[in-house]
Structure 1
């Protein structure tokens, strides 16, 4: 609708449980958004937001948060996100994140995480160890070059199709295979973390130019 500022009038609608302000021109989310104490679904994708308010941590009923295709940086994500203990889906794709906030690792109910089209070169263990994680999208990030670390990239791809089972449901050979794969993955991650590399976009004029060029299509 071409909305440029968060409409204060809707803050009076205290019983709203779904709010969609996507595909607008909004730059700032007010602290007063925490008044939506019954909100379960918040969609703000395709705006110009560069920071989320600390008060978002008070929206403990939130199950779904989509802030993809904005201008968020890692510093623009408040630590108060770790208070969203019931949240199931978080989409942070198509932003300017150069690292994954460790606060996401505290959200034990997360089923889906979107981190695609950012500036990431590694994924912290706390994300891959989320107990209920079913889908992790990390496509089109500047991870290490394939010729330098093929196994690392393969491990990231496997995370995108992650299915969880309990140890008691696995036979002996399968359990050993999973344990060996986990050990290899941890070894690779420790090597990559110890030797950080500069993000490389060989075919792009600027790190997030692909996202910028497609922004209007997203709207």
Structure 2
């Protein structure tokens, strides 16, 4: 089985919410020495994106979305277990990142993949879930002494919550205490720059890259 076929089958397993098939593919990929993290992002992740798009278009109901999300979580947890078992030593802690999907937005799947990938890369991740108000985000960031606050917005209407967070950080004098990152389908590097966020990432792999770069800059100060 070649890589593209594996990715295609993995995507299909998530779209069909077939947990048994998905876990079977992971075992098969491991036996054939495929890169499991790449499988998670490019295979199962593609299915996750397809599910989100179908929900946005009204093709998929909320219960169906939640069911697919549970399968995705099982897949992610299984791959992370295998990656952890394969690692001889745990990665050095890179920093603490707090993640949240903003208020008014129920999309939680993509952020879950980002959280898992960041953990694999060595970050401590506090995932607040979805529909989180900005004041709660700031409160939790202080509580956990976070280095980075990452917010996800999958709807154009909820992007304004990311702007609201930047405003709150400025008003409370906490702007210099936390690095902020934004992501989500309607977000762009231009949006991040416009609202004053420290970084932007399009997907989980880029989130790790950007977070590492931002932490490197912070540690130089």
Where relative contact order (Cα < 8 A, 6+ residues apart) is larger, the structure is 2
**Superposed pair shares fold, TM > 0.5:** no
> TM-score, with normalisation over the residues of structure 2?
0.30
> TM-score, with normalisation over the residues of structure 1?
0.31
Which protein shows a greater Rg? Answer: 1
